[in-house]
A and B are shown apart, each in its own frame.
Chain A
Amino acid sequence: MESLLFGSFMFICLIPCLWISLLYLYPKKWKEKKIVLGVKRRKEFGEAGTEEKVEAIVNEANRQATAITLVCTVIGVILLFLHGFLMQMFIWCGFIYIALLADMVPYILGHAHMIALKRELGLSSEQGVSYVDLKAAGKIRALKLPAVLLPNIAGLLAVGVAVLTDLGVIRFGNMRAGVHIAPWVCGMFWLMGILITVLAFLMDNMKNEVIASDSDVNANFNRAKKKNRANMNITFLWVNAAYILIIALFTYSEMITMLSMAFYMILLLAGIAVFVSTDKKIEARYQKQTDLVSDDDECWIGGMIYYNPKDRRFQVEKRAGVGATVNLAHPGGKIVVGLAVLALVLCFVWLGMIEATPIDLRVEDGKLICHQLRDEYVIRLDEIESVSYGEDIGSLQLYRLAGVGMPTLLKGDFSAKDITKCKVFLAPQEGVYIMVKTGNGIYIVSDTTAAETKEIFEQIR
């Protein structure tokens, strides 16, 4: 049941995204779009002879993307029936990365073909040229401070509820005090709300697009686009605040937490879908009035990554997908991307170290010491009240509150059957464990192998 729920959650997160990106990145009616595979649509594309070539490139990209999306959907359905939570988790994580990358390949290839076609037609990019509408500069804003503050305040109140419940000051349903998980999760989601707020303001302050020589057209176009972005971000903030409240009140129920997470993702995806649909309508509405094209196609690597040393802006509107992206040639852009890559690399290195370093359990100087990497639990033998040896780890029903949960390692704070909170330090694949009860709490530990664990148990006893 747990693995099916997890699989369904990952399926809901990934597959609709792939279908939305298929519709958004690979539109069939390219003549109505401003951007065709990361290249700004030019009037020359509509000329006899060229139109067929563009049509062929777009159709090919469409065909490939549809095939990839279909294959990913089928794989996603198959993965739903995989047994084992950990197996599901690892395969889904890998599959998400591969699917998202594969989905972009037709776009990148199509972009390369479009650039080649432009060169063939003798259409050069106007690198370093930008247009600014004097009448719209700095005047078009859609985000109102109270609209952004309210959901953040609501979220903060929910965090407060989680903290008070954890401290035992107030009580809701079966919520238990002293578990610490709800305040952390709520706090994390509240910080995510703050991040959305910052992004919302950055998006609202983005440079206005100049699509026509008529300033009124530019002003109306940008106002509509910014209003749409602001609506999406405010919706996200409210959904986030509602989710924080649910976590604050119902963390004790794994089912409610999982379902609310799935519902949270569905609402976010629905928000993105509405945003994309409205954005498309706005683009279509102003298509006929567009008479100004600033061409910097060759600064878009693969039609997705913006690198323009001549452009001093930090962020620009995305060509593929929705929202904004950074200019990699800008020092700020380099820092942001560098930090993101570094965080990803460090994350993998850290996971690799956790996976590769065996846990060490030993009795030394009258103490039971559990050690791995920088973590160490020290239990004085004279403080032990009782000790037992078990061979069925599954019967403990361990649930991670904070720490590491890997197929080869369980480490940190867990709850277990009839135990609100305990310290765990286990190699779960061996199936055996030692349960130590002290005045300070309960410890469930093991060594790397069953034989070594048994040996340590004999020493303690």
Chain B
Amino acid sequence: MKVVVALKRVIDYNVKIRVKSDGTGVETANVKMSMNPFDEIALEEAVRLKEAGIVSEVIAVTLGTQACQDVLRTALAVGADRVVLIETDVELQPLAVATCLKAFVQKEQPRLVLLGKQAIDDDANQTGQMLAALLGWAQATNAFKLEIAGDHATVTREIDGGLETLEASLPVIVTADLRLNTPRYATLPNIMKAKKKTIESLSPADLGVDPSPRLKTLLVSDPPVRKPGIVVNSVTELVEKLRNEARVI
């Protein structure tokens, strides 16, 4: 059984982002880029399924410019068997990504698609659910635990206030939450080996998809700044302030 893992290249989670002064977006020049952390977890889960003998091939796919090759090299280094870049310069929005992935999935015929629950740049949390809808597949978002036995997947999801367990027949879309696993680091020998491997390339046109954006970003701005607070010297002063100044207790 094949598994497809969709990856996104984003500004590294350790970078403190800067909004561009002209309000068109966030500064990405000379900024460290990495694989979206939730996608790393999705990829790790796929590799573990292969190591457990449940999955025969792990195919990692990403969409974007040539620069996205670096996350595919990382994917090869941690255990993806094949990697594919759906190359485009167009600004990609989740629906366009899901539409491209739908065509890609129909071509590759996996029984399972893993994605991160959201990307840490646009925080949209949409692509997995939309892909499931377009394919007419079951979806299990925010996965905390994934078990595959025969033709069935049992997924425990993170929900408000606890956990929920769903069961679905394959094929299924699963999006990874934080606690699904702890991703491994790529080892140096594997990183070196990954450099020699092939990156397959496709375009949205090859998949019959028009990826043009359907939403227009008018302005990106800094969030409002809180007014500076004060340092209190004792618990007594804190209680006094909360009672008489803030009036919240």
Q: Do A and B come from one complex?
A: no
**Chain A interface residues (CB < 8 Å from chain B):** none
